[in-house]
Structure 1
Amino acid sequence: MGEGSYGSVFKGTRISDGLQPTDSRYLQSPVESKAVPVEVALMQMVNEPPVCNSIIKLIEWFDEPDQYILVLERPDPCVDLKSFLHNLRGYADEETARNIMLLAVEAASQCSLRGVLHRDTCHR
């Protein structure tokens, strides 16, 4: 069905009872009484109280016929890490690097505690 950085996805049926996997693009929402797109459910899970300031908040989402629209918090000031490091001429001092890593570890820890594993790939 598809390939990713770490493996391939195949469609299958369990021989013993004919069970087929459910649609993995949807999960039961922790805040709504229905299944929602995986990205929405995961954002809802990591946004459950107590809030973590290192994780972007899901403000609203919309189910359009050909796409999902997620409205996310945009802190001000806001810059992505690549641009941030570019503005520092490619290098961060030790204190800045430590603060960036603390934010990343805090966010990853909170995601893990809430049952969400973030496996985003690097884009070049």
Structure 2
Amino acid sequence: MFFSKLLSQRKKSIQRLLLYTGPALLVSMAYMDPGNYGTDIQAGASLNYSLLWVVWLSSGMAMLLQYLSGKLGIATHLSLPEIIREKLKKKKYIIPYWLAAEAAAAATDLAEYLGTVIALNLR
């Protein structure tokens, strides 16, 4: 009696854990911040499945780049910007990388801001 009750409680707790783990894995793997989510919903509503190949390609590229960056970090104990700084000594070579990183950060922030605005205006 006691063991069956304990097993039943454990089964329920595992089910509750899995209930939250699924969405958490989706959010962590798909980069689902409010901006990305709002952009994806809008694109899906207007274009249906015609741009699904872009999602697959960009996800594959992101996984590859994260894998390679992690491998580089494990092997050298340096981050990607530190490696670039070490390999490219002159500032005229470093500045374009810095500008590209700033542009990417600005675009990401803009998408997140717009997604938040869209999410707040949904009623």
Which structure features the higher share of helix residues?
Answer: 2
TM norm structure 2? 0.34
State which structure, 1 or 2, has the greater radius of gyration over its C-alpha atoms: 2
Larger strand percent: 1
**TM-score if structure 1 supplies the norm length?**
0.34
Larger relative contact order (Cα-Cα within 8 Å, sequence gap ≥ 6)? 2
